[in-house]
């Protein structure tokens, strides 16, 4: 979305989420602003042998209550979350496919890991019962593009459709690339975001082997503490965040309610290390600079940043450094928060739900806090909106996400 691209403006007209803090946008936002934490001991499996035993699960969830029971049985938990969040967003946008050209509507819902439940359960079937008992729905259920495909079938969207995969930057990349498709004139509407359901034994064992996850098992609600001196790793979350994007002209022509504009986007790579961020913040700072440039926005115009803020020692320190590089003196005055302190880290869905948070920040003029920030790390010395939500006059916001492999994504939203 650089200065040479089409002048078509991209706006947000629909929001949908499924998270540990609520199965819809209103309940999710109310919990977030209240500083509630969705992290507790893992109940989806017995975590007692693992170093990390806590997570932000979507509880009291029955997919068959939200989608066709047959499709629910045939698809993975990550697809359930993304499909339902997409249905919410589509309804919120007030779109009627009877009045739309299906060729001009696309879907781009990414996942960093895809169908981990299916992968693990069917491997167990193979080992215990043999190859003839493996489900014929295994492959379509576990692959990372299935959520996009299933929702396109649901609404009859024949435009661009695929699943973005860039680890924890997936959701933001999906939104940015969807916006590109609209700007290019390929489509008028895109349903985009991220979905993840990786609270499984194999995923946990793998992340624990990397020593990436918090082991503060006796204090689940206090375990995710971005920018705090006592942080010791991320906490897995699950769920989905999906937005409906449209060209401004299309939204106006149908009389849609417009939340805000998706004004800027950029993607970069650290080209430094497979799991650790660049210690000088080069890739992330470049992503932020390019996103601002693509939006035609000066750093001083950003009033809020939803930080990646994973509660890991490396990320929070280096993200703070990158923000200082980009924003200079303004870094000391811009409000920043990591909502992962409440939602946990949703991996490929993080950018989706955090973009919803940015849109709600603009709509409500309220900044959600960073909870559990009790003893700030001296290397993390900016305004992270500690512990309590804050009313603020906000017109332009930015969201960051980083992923293993060195992927970086930044997106800018502003009031219309």
Whole-angstrom distance, CA of residue 277 vs CA of residue 281 = 7
Decide if 260 is catalytic: no
Whole-angstrom distance, CA of residue 59 vs CA of residue 56 = 9
- Per the residue annotation, which of 147, 173, 308, 358 is the catalytic one? 308
Q: Are 106 and 157 in contact (CB under 8 A)?
A: yes
Here the contacts of 375-378 (C-beta below 8 Å, separation 24 or greater) are 375/228, 375/229, 375/230, 376/227, 376/228, 376/229, 377/227, 377/228, 377/229, 377/231, 377/316, 377/317, 378/229
Decide if 273 is catalytic: no
Whole-angstrom distance, CA of residue 39 vs CA of residue 236 = 9
**In the beta sheet, which residues pair with residue 18?**
240
Decide if 308 is catalytic: yes
From 381, 365, 309, select the one nearest 339 (Cα to Cα): 309
Whole-angstrom distance, CA of residue 383 vs CA of residue 324 = 12
For 315-328, give the DSSP string: HHHHHHHHHHHHHG
Whole-angstrom distance, CA of residue 79 vs CA of residue 194 = 10
- Per the residue annotation, which of 37, 168, 358, 380 is the catalytic one? 168
Tokens representing 253 are: 């022509």
Residues serving a catalytic function are 168, 308, 345
């Amino acid at each position: 979305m650089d200065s040479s691209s089409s002048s078509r403006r991209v706006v947000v007209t629909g929001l949908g989420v499924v998270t540990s803090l609520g199965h819809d946008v209103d309940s999710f936002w109310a919990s977030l602003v209240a500083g509630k934490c969705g992290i507790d001991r893992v109940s989806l499996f017995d975590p007692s042998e693992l170093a990390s035993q806590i997570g932000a699960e979507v509880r009291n969830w029955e997919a068959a209550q939200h989608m066709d029971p047959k499709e629910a049985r045939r698809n993975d938990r990550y697809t359930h979350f993304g499909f339902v969040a997409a249905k919410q967003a589509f309804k919120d946008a007030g779109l009627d496919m009877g009045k739309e050209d299906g060729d001009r509507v696309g879907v781009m819902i990414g996942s960093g890991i895809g169908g981990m439940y299916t992968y693990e359960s069917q491997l167990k079937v193979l080992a215990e019962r043999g190859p003839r008992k493996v489900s014929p729905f295994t492959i379509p259920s576990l692959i990372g593009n299935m959520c996009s495909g299933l929702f396109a079938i649901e609404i009859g969207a024949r435009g661009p459709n695929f699943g973005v995969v860039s680890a924890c930057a997936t959701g933001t990349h999906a939104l940015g690339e969807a916006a590109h498709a609209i700007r290019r004139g390929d489509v008028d509407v895109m349903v985009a975001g991220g979905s993840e359901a990786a609270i499984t034994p194999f995923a946990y064992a793998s992340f624990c082997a990397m020593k990436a996850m918090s082991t503060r098992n006796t204090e689940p609600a206090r375990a995710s503490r971005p920018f705090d001196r006592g942080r010791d790793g991320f906490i897995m979350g699950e769920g989905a965040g999906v937005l409906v994007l449209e060209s401004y002209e299309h939204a106006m022509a149908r009389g849609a309610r417009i939340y805000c504009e998706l004004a800027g986007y950029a993607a970069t790579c650290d080209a430094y290390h497979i799991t650790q961020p660049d210690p000088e913040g080069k890739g992330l700072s470049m992503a932020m600079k390019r996103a601002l440039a693509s939006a035609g926005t000066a750093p001083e115009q950003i009033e809020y940043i939803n930080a990646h803020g994973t509660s890991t020692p490396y990320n929070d320190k280096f993200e703070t450094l990158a923000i200082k590089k980009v924003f200079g003196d303004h870094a000391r005055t811009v409000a920043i928060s990591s909502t992962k302190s409440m939602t946990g880290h949703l991996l490929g869905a993080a950018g989706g739900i955090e973009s919803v948070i940015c849109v709600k920040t603009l709509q409500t003029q309220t900044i959600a806090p960073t909870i559990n920030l009790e003893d700030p790390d001296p290397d993390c010395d900016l305004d992270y909106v500690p512990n309590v939500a804050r009313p603020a006059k906000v017109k332009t916001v930015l969201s960051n996400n980083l992923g293993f492999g060195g992927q970086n994504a930044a997106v800018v939203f502003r009031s219309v």
